[in-house]
Amino acid sequence: MYDAIIIGGGPAGTTAAIYLQRFKKKVLLIMKDMGALGKTAHIDNYYGFIDTITGPDLLNRGIEQAKRLGVEVLEDEVLSIDNFPDFKVKTINGEYTSKTLMMATGKTQTRLKAKNFNNFVGKGISYCAICDGFIYRNKKIGLVGNKEFMEEELEILKNFSEDITIFTNGMDLSVKVDKPVVLDEIQEIKGNEVINQLVAGDKTYDVDVLFMAVGSPSATDFALRLGAFLDASNNLVVDDQFMTNIPGMFAGGDCIGGLLQIVKSTSDGAHAAIAMNRYLKNMNK
Ligand SMILES: Cc1cc2nc3c(=O)[nH]c(=O)nc-3n(C[C@H](O)[C@H](O)[C@H](O)COP(=O)(O)OP(=O)(O)OC[C@H]3O[C@@H](n4cnc5c(N)ncnc54)[C@H](O)[C@@H]3O)c2cc1C
Protein backbone atom coordinates (compact mmCIF):
# COMPACT_ATOMS: atom_id res chain seq x y z
CA MET A 1 0.00 0.00 0.00
CA TYR A 2 1.45 3.37 -1.04
CA ASP A 3 0.77 6.64 0.76
CA ALA A 4 0.53 8.35 -2.61
CA ILE A 5 0.36 7.30 -6.22
CA ILE A 6 1.07 10.07 -8.68
CA ILE A 7 -0.05 9.62 -12.26
CA GLY A 8 2.19 11.67 -14.50
CA GLY A 9 5.94 12.25 -14.54
CA GLY A 10 5.93 15.80 -15.90
CA PRO A 11 6.84 18.89 -13.84
CA ALA A 12 3.66 18.71 -11.70
CA GLY A 13 3.79 15.03 -10.81
CA THR A 14 7.56 14.85 -10.34
CA THR A 15 7.64 17.91 -8.09
CA ALA A 16 4.82 16.45 -5.98
CA ALA A 17 6.71 13.15 -5.75
CA ILE A 18 9.89 14.91 -4.63
CA TYR A 19 8.06 16.84 -1.90
CA LEU A 20 6.14 13.79 -0.66
CA GLN A 21 9.28 11.66 -0.61
CA ARG A 22 10.97 14.31 1.53
CA PHE A 23 7.97 14.11 3.87
CA LYS A 24 9.01 10.43 4.19
CA LYS A 25 5.95 9.12 2.39
CA LYS A 26 5.88 5.92 0.33
CA VAL A 27 5.39 7.26 -3.19
CA LEU A 28 4.87 5.64 -6.57
CA LEU A 29 5.10 7.81 -9.66
CA ILE A 30 3.65 6.29 -12.84
CA MET A 31 4.34 7.76 -16.28
CA LYS A 32 3.74 6.43 -19.74
CA ASP A 33 5.91 8.86 -21.71
CA MET A 34 7.48 12.32 -21.63
CA GLY A 35 4.19 14.23 -21.82
CA ALA A 36 4.29 17.84 -23.06
CA LEU A 37 8.04 18.18 -22.38
CA GLY A 38 8.71 15.43 -24.90
CA LYS A 39 7.47 17.82 -27.61
CA THR A 40 9.47 20.82 -26.41
CA ALA A 41 12.74 21.59 -28.15
CA HIS A 42 13.72 24.86 -26.44
CA ILE A 43 12.91 26.13 -22.97
CA ASP A 44 14.24 29.61 -22.26
CA ASN A 45 11.84 30.90 -19.62
CA TYR A 46 12.35 28.47 -16.76
CA TYR A 47 14.29 29.68 -13.75
CA GLY A 48 17.95 28.79 -13.35
CA PHE A 49 19.05 27.64 -16.81
CA ILE A 50 21.54 30.04 -18.37
CA ASP A 51 21.47 28.17 -21.68
CA THR A 52 18.43 26.82 -23.47
CA ILE A 53 17.38 23.43 -22.19
CA THR A 54 15.32 20.89 -24.14
CA GLY A 55 12.09 19.46 -22.72
CA PRO A 56 13.38 15.86 -22.58
CA ASP A 57 16.56 17.02 -20.84
CA LEU A 58 14.62 18.94 -18.18
CA LEU A 59 12.24 16.01 -17.69
CA ASN A 60 15.09 13.49 -17.29
CA ARG A 61 16.76 15.72 -14.72
CA GLY A 62 13.52 15.86 -12.71
CA ILE A 63 13.05 12.10 -12.84
CA GLU A 64 16.68 11.42 -11.90
CA GLN A 65 16.36 13.83 -8.97
CA ALA A 66 13.18 12.08 -7.79
CA LYS A 67 14.85 8.67 -8.07
CA ARG A 68 17.93 9.86 -6.17
CA LEU A 69 15.64 10.91 -3.32
CA GLY A 70 14.01 7.47 -3.28
CA VAL A 71 10.84 7.89 -5.36
CA GLU A 72 9.75 4.69 -7.06
CA VAL A 73 9.25 5.51 -10.76
CA LEU A 74 7.28 3.15 -12.95
CA GLU A 75 7.08 3.43 -16.74
CA ASP A 76 3.63 2.11 -17.47
CA GLU A 77 0.24 3.33 -18.62
CA VAL A 78 -2.64 3.70 -16.18
CA LEU A 79 -5.83 2.23 -17.61
CA SER A 80 -8.33 2.57 -14.78
CA ILE A 81 -8.77 3.70 -11.19
CA ASP A 82 -11.18 2.48 -8.51
CA ASN A 83 -11.58 4.49 -5.36
CA PHE A 84 -13.21 2.45 -2.68
CA PRO A 85 -12.04 2.07 0.04
CA ASP A 86 -8.49 2.89 -1.17
CA PHE A 87 -7.37 3.96 -4.63
CA LYS A 88 -6.73 0.93 -6.81
CA VAL A 89 -4.74 1.85 -9.91
CA LYS A 90 -4.64 -0.62 -12.79
CA THR A 91 -1.88 -0.30 -15.38
CA ILE A 92 -1.10 -2.36 -18.45
CA ASN A 93 1.29 -4.47 -16.37
CA GLY A 94 0.02 -4.41 -12.79
CA GLU A 95 -2.22 -3.13 -9.99
CA TYR A 96 -1.26 -0.83 -7.15
CA THR A 97 -3.15 0.54 -4.13
CA SER A 98 -2.71 3.81 -2.35
CA LYS A 99 -4.24 5.98 0.36
CA THR A 100 -4.13 9.09 -1.82
CA LEU A 101 -3.81 9.85 -5.50
CA MET A 102 -2.58 12.77 -7.54
CA MET A 103 -3.64 13.33 -11.11
CA ALA A 104 -0.86 15.07 -13.07
CA THR A 105 -1.52 13.73 -16.54
CA GLY A 106 -1.15 17.00 -18.42
CA LYS A 107 -3.56 18.13 -21.08
CA THR A 108 -4.66 15.78 -23.79
CA GLN A 109 -7.53 16.06 -26.15
CA THR A 110 -8.90 13.05 -27.94
CA ARG A 111 -10.98 14.52 -30.69
CA LEU A 112 -11.38 13.07 -34.14
CA LYS A 113 -10.75 15.09 -37.27
CA ALA A 114 -13.99 13.68 -38.71
CA LYS A 115 -16.48 16.18 -40.14
CA ASN A 116 -19.22 17.13 -37.60
CA PHE A 117 -17.35 15.54 -34.65
CA ASN A 118 -17.80 18.57 -32.38
CA ASN A 119 -21.53 18.79 -33.15
CA PHE A 120 -22.17 15.34 -31.70
CA VAL A 121 -20.13 15.38 -28.49
CA GLY A 122 -22.75 14.62 -25.82
CA LYS A 123 -25.24 13.78 -28.57
CA GLY A 124 -24.18 10.21 -29.16
CA ILE A 125 -20.42 10.68 -28.75
CA SER A 126 -19.45 9.51 -25.27
CA TYR A 127 -16.15 9.47 -23.41
CA CYS A 128 -17.20 7.02 -20.70
CA ALA A 129 -18.42 3.43 -21.16
CA ILE A 130 -19.15 2.89 -17.49
CA CYS A 131 -21.18 6.12 -17.29
CA ASP A 132 -23.20 5.80 -20.51
CA GLY A 133 -23.03 2.12 -21.56
CA PHE A 134 -26.32 1.24 -19.87
CA ILE A 135 -28.18 3.88 -21.91
CA TYR A 136 -27.18 2.05 -25.09
CA ARG A 137 -28.06 -1.51 -24.02
CA ASN A 138 -28.82 -3.72 -27.05
CA LYS A 139 -28.02 -0.82 -29.39
CA LYS A 140 -25.45 -0.52 -32.18
CA ILE A 141 -22.26 0.62 -30.50
CA GLY A 142 -19.20 2.07 -32.22
CA LEU A 143 -15.98 2.19 -30.19
CA VAL A 144 -12.95 4.17 -31.36
CA GLY A 145 -9.47 3.09 -30.27
CA ASN A 146 -6.70 0.67 -31.05
CA LYS A 147 -4.98 -0.41 -27.84
CA GLU A 148 -5.38 -1.36 -24.18
CA PHE A 149 -7.63 1.57 -23.22
CA MET A 150 -10.06 0.56 -25.97
CA GLU A 151 -9.85 -3.08 -24.81
CA GLU A 152 -10.75 -1.96 -21.27
CA GLU A 153 -13.79 -0.01 -22.50
CA LEU A 154 -14.83 -2.89 -24.77
CA GLU A 155 -15.04 -5.26 -21.79
CA ILE A 156 -17.42 -2.82 -20.07
CA LEU A 157 -19.55 -2.31 -23.19
CA LYS A 158 -19.96 -6.06 -23.73
CA ASN A 159 -22.19 -6.04 -20.64
CA PHE A 160 -24.67 -3.87 -22.50
CA SER A 161 -24.69 -4.93 -26.14
CA GLU A 162 -23.36 -7.61 -28.46
CA ASP A 163 -23.49 -5.30 -31.46
CA ILE A 164 -20.16 -3.53 -31.10
CA THR A 165 -17.86 -2.42 -33.91
CA ILE A 166 -14.32 -1.21 -33.27
CA PHE A 167 -13.08 1.74 -35.35
CA THR A 168 -9.31 2.16 -35.20
CA ASN A 169 -9.57 5.42 -37.17
CA GLY A 170 -6.67 4.57 -39.45
CA MET A 171 -4.38 3.22 -36.69
CA ASP A 172 -3.02 -0.31 -36.42
CA LEU A 173 -4.80 -2.54 -33.95
CA SER A 174 -2.37 -3.58 -31.21
CA VAL A 175 -4.67 -5.80 -29.11
CA LYS A 176 -6.83 -8.82 -29.94
CA VAL A 177 -10.59 -8.26 -30.03
CA ASP A 178 -13.53 -10.56 -30.76
CA LYS A 179 -15.67 -7.90 -32.47
CA PRO A 180 -15.68 -6.57 -36.05
CA VAL A 181 -12.93 -4.05 -36.74
CA VAL A 182 -12.90 -1.17 -39.23
CA LEU A 183 -9.38 0.07 -39.90
CA ASP A 184 -10.30 3.06 -42.10
CA GLU A 185 -10.20 6.61 -40.82
CA ILE A 186 -13.59 8.03 -39.80
CA GLN A 187 -14.30 10.87 -42.22
CA GLU A 188 -17.73 12.03 -41.22
CA ILE A 189 -20.30 11.69 -38.50
CA LYS A 190 -23.94 11.91 -39.53
CA GLY A 191 -27.21 12.32 -37.66
CA ASN A 192 -30.00 14.75 -36.88
CA GLU A 193 -30.45 15.49 -33.18
CA VAL A 194 -28.15 12.59 -32.32
CA ILE A 195 -25.57 10.50 -34.13
CA ASN A 196 -26.84 7.70 -36.39
CA GLN A 197 -24.12 6.99 -38.98
CA LEU A 198 -20.37 7.03 -39.50
CA VAL A 199 -18.56 7.29 -42.79
CA ALA A 200 -15.22 5.45 -42.81
CA GLY A 201 -13.35 4.62 -46.00
CA ASP A 202 -15.96 4.17 -48.71
CA LYS A 203 -18.59 2.68 -46.37
CA THR A 204 -21.32 4.03 -44.12
CA TYR A 205 -21.99 2.34 -40.78
CA ASP A 206 -25.16 2.65 -38.69
CA VAL A 207 -24.45 3.41 -35.03
CA ASP A 208 -26.52 4.64 -32.07
CA VAL A 209 -23.49 5.80 -30.15
CA LEU A 210 -19.75 6.28 -30.57
CA PHE A 211 -17.57 5.67 -27.52
CA MET A 212 -14.13 7.28 -27.52
CA ALA A 213 -11.14 5.34 -26.18
CA VAL A 214 -8.31 6.72 -28.30
CA GLY A 215 -4.71 6.46 -27.12
CA SER A 216 -4.40 6.49 -23.33
CA PRO A 217 -6.93 7.62 -20.74
CA SER A 218 -6.46 11.25 -19.72
CA ALA A 219 -7.38 13.12 -16.54
CA THR A 220 -10.74 13.88 -18.15
CA ASP A 221 -11.40 10.19 -18.80
CA PHE A 222 -10.50 9.24 -15.23
CA ALA A 223 -12.60 12.10 -13.86
CA LEU A 224 -15.69 10.99 -15.80
CA ARG A 225 -15.36 7.46 -14.48
CA LEU A 226 -14.76 8.48 -10.87
CA GLY A 227 -17.35 11.26 -10.80
CA ALA A 228 -14.78 14.04 -10.34
CA PHE A 229 -15.96 17.51 -11.35
CA LEU A 230 -14.72 19.07 -14.60
CA ASP A 231 -15.12 22.67 -15.72
CA ALA A 232 -16.42 23.80 -19.10
CA SER A 233 -12.93 23.35 -20.62
CA ASN A 234 -12.63 19.80 -19.27
CA ASN A 235 -10.12 20.79 -16.61
CA LEU A 236 -10.29 18.96 -13.29
CA VAL A 237 -11.81 21.19 -10.63
CA VAL A 238 -9.79 21.42 -7.40
CA ASP A 239 -10.26 23.35 -4.17
CA ASP A 240 -7.67 25.65 -2.57
CA GLN A 241 -5.89 22.50 -1.25
CA PHE A 242 -5.62 21.07 -4.80
CA MET A 243 -8.09 18.33 -3.89
CA THR A 244 -10.85 17.30 -6.28
CA ASN A 245 -14.36 16.56 -5.03
CA ILE A 246 -13.20 12.94 -4.51
CA PRO A 247 -11.70 12.77 -0.99
CA GLY A 248 -8.00 11.91 -1.21
CA MET A 249 -7.71 12.59 -4.94
CA PHE A 250 -5.60 15.64 -5.73
CA ALA A 251 -4.62 17.18 -9.07
CA GLY A 252 -2.21 19.74 -10.49
CA GLY A 253 -0.43 20.98 -13.58
CA ASP A 254 -1.96 21.40 -17.02
CA CYS A 255 -4.87 19.03 -16.22
CA ILE A 256 -6.39 21.63 -13.87
CA GLY A 257 -6.02 24.44 -16.43
CA GLY A 258 -4.76 27.97 -15.76
CA LEU A 259 -1.29 28.97 -16.95
CA LEU A 260 -0.02 26.08 -19.06
CA GLN A 261 3.63 26.52 -18.16
CA ILE A 262 6.29 24.54 -16.32
CA VAL A 263 6.60 27.05 -13.50
CA LYS A 264 2.92 26.81 -12.65
CA SER A 265 2.98 22.99 -12.86
CA THR A 266 5.87 22.72 -10.41
CA SER A 267 4.09 25.13 -8.07
CA ASP A 268 0.89 23.05 -8.26
CA GLY A 269 2.93 19.91 -7.54
CA ALA A 270 4.44 21.42 -4.41
CA HIS A 271 1.09 22.73 -3.13
CA ALA A 272 -0.67 19.43 -3.81
CA ALA A 273 2.07 17.46 -2.03
CA ILE A 274 1.88 19.66 1.08
CA ALA A 275 -1.90 19.22 1.15
CA MET A 276 -1.60 15.45 0.59
CA ASN A 277 0.85 15.17 3.47
CA ARG A 278 -1.61 17.02 5.71
CA TYR A 279 -4.47 14.82 4.50
CA LEU A 280 -2.47 11.66 5.27
CA LYS A 281 -1.67 12.95 8.77
CA ASN A 282 -5.37 13.58 9.44
CA MET A 283 -6.21 10.10 8.14
CA ASN A 284 -3.92 8.54 10.72
CA LYS A 285 -5.34 10.49 13.67
C1 LIG B 1 5.55 22.30 -27.86
C2 LIG B 1 5.48 22.82 -26.45
C3 LIG B 1 6.36 23.78 -26.01
C4 LIG B 1 6.30 24.26 -24.69
N5 LIG B 1 7.22 25.20 -24.28
C6 LIG B 1 7.22 25.64 -23.00
C7 LIG B 1 8.19 26.57 -22.52
O8 LIG B 1 9.07 27.00 -23.27
N9 LIG B 1 8.12 26.97 -21.22
C10 LIG B 1 7.15 26.51 -20.36
O11 LIG B 1 7.16 26.90 -19.19
N12 LIG B 1 6.22 25.61 -20.78
C13 LIG B 1 6.22 25.18 -22.06
N14 LIG B 1 5.28 24.27 -22.49
C15 LIG B 1 4.23 23.82 -21.54
C16 LIG B 1 4.75 22.79 -20.54
O17 LIG B 1 5.44 21.76 -21.23
C18 LIG B 1 3.57 22.22 -19.73
O19 LIG B 1 2.85 23.30 -19.14
C20 LIG B 1 4.04 21.28 -18.64
O21 LIG B 1 4.85 20.25 -19.16
C22 LIG B 1 2.83 20.65 -17.94
O23 LIG B 1 3.28 19.81 -16.93
P24 LIG B 1 2.35 18.63 -16.37
O25 LIG B 1 3.19 17.94 -15.37
O26 LIG B 1 1.04 19.17 -15.96
O27 LIG B 1 2.05 17.68 -17.61
P28 LIG B 1 3.01 16.97 -18.67
O29 LIG B 1 4.36 17.57 -18.66
O30 LIG B 1 2.26 16.95 -19.95
O31 LIG B 1 3.16 15.48 -18.10
C32 LIG B 1 2.07 14.58 -18.14
C33 LIG B 1 2.53 13.24 -17.62
O34 LIG B 1 1.38 12.39 -17.48
C35 LIG B 1 1.69 11.11 -17.99
N36 LIG B 1 0.43 10.43 -18.34
C37 LIG B 1 -0.65 10.91 -19.02
N38 LIG B 1 -1.61 9.96 -19.09
C39 LIG B 1 -1.12 8.87 -18.47
C40 LIG B 1 -1.64 7.55 -18.22
N41 LIG B 1 -2.86 7.18 -18.63
N42 LIG B 1 -0.85 6.68 -17.56
C43 LIG B 1 0.39 7.04 -17.12
N44 LIG B 1 0.92 8.27 -17.33
C45 LIG B 1 0.17 9.16 -17.98
C46 LIG B 1 2.61 11.40 -19.16
O47 LIG B 1 3.34 10.24 -19.47
C48 LIG B 1 3.48 12.50 -18.56
O49 LIG B 1 4.50 11.92 -17.78
C50 LIG B 1 5.32 23.78 -23.80
C51 LIG B 1 4.42 22.79 -24.23
C52 LIG B 1 4.49 22.31 -25.54
C53 LIG B 1 3.52 21.23 -25.98
CA of 167 to the centre of ligand 1 (A): 28
Q: Cα-atom radius of gyration of the chain, to the nearest Å?
A: 20
Per-residue pLDDT tens over the stretch 116-135: 998 998 789 988 898 789 99
**E strands along the chain, which residues?**
2-7, 27-31, 72-75, 78-82, 87-91, 95-103, 125-126, 141-144, 164-167, 181-182, 186-191, 195-200, 203-206, 209-212, 249-251
Question: Would you state the pLDDT for residue 118?
Answer: 87
**What atom in ligand 1 is closest to the CA of residue 263?**
11
Determine the distance separating the centroid of ligand 1 and the alpha carbon of 276, expressed in angstroms: 22
Ligand 1, residues at Cβ distance < 6 Å? 7-13, 30-33, 35-37, 39-40, 43, 45-46, 77-78, 104-106, 216-218, 253-254, 260-263, 265
Of all protein residues, the one whose alpha carbon is nearest to atom 19 of ligand 1 is: 261
- Identify whether the C-beta of residue 80 lies closer than 8 Å to the C-beta of residue 225: yes
- Whole-number pLDDT of residue 111: 85
Banded pLDDT at 236 (limits 50, 70, 90): very high
pLDDT tens profile 243-270: 999 999 999 999 999 999 999 999 999 9
Cα of 88 to ligand 1 centre, how many Å? 24
Which pLDDT score is estimated for 127? 85
| 2-108+217-283 has CATH 3.50.50.60 classification | yes
Pocket test for ligand 1, best of 15, 28, 30, 31 (most atoms within 8 A of CB): 31
pLDDT of residue 147: 94
Residue 279 alpha carbon to ligand 1 centre in Å = 26
Rounded distance from Cα 196 to ligand 1 centre (Å) = 36
Question: Which is more confident, 274 or 221?
Answer: 274
Distance 247 CA to ligand 1 centre (A): 25
Specify the ligand 1 atom closest to the Cα of 37.
17
CB 103 within 8 A of CB 110: no
Query: Taking residues 189-216, what's their average pLDDT?
Result: 94
Query: Quick one: pLDDT at residue 173?
Result: 96
For residues 251 and 272, the answer to whether their CB atoms sit within 8 Å is: yes
Of 246, 271, 268, nearest to 256 (Cα)?
268
Average pLDDT, integer, range 155-168: 97
pLDDT score for 252:
98
Give the pLDDT score at 271: 98
Query: What are the extents of the domains in the chain?
Result: 2-108+217-283, 117-212
- The overall average pLDDT reported for the chain is 94
Name the residue type at position 283: M
pLDDT(285) > 80: no
CATH number for the segment(s) 117-212 = 3.50.50.60
**Angle, CA 138 vertex, CA 132 and CA 142 arms, to 5°:** 60
pLDDT at 109: 62
Q: Does the fold of domain 117-212 match that of domain 2-108+217-283?
A: yes
Q: Measuring CA to CA, which residue among 108, 75, 94 is closest to residue 213?
A: 108
Residues 157-171 have a mean pLDDT of: 97
Arithmetic mean of pLDDT, 152-170? 96
> Percent of the chain having pLDDT more than 90?
85
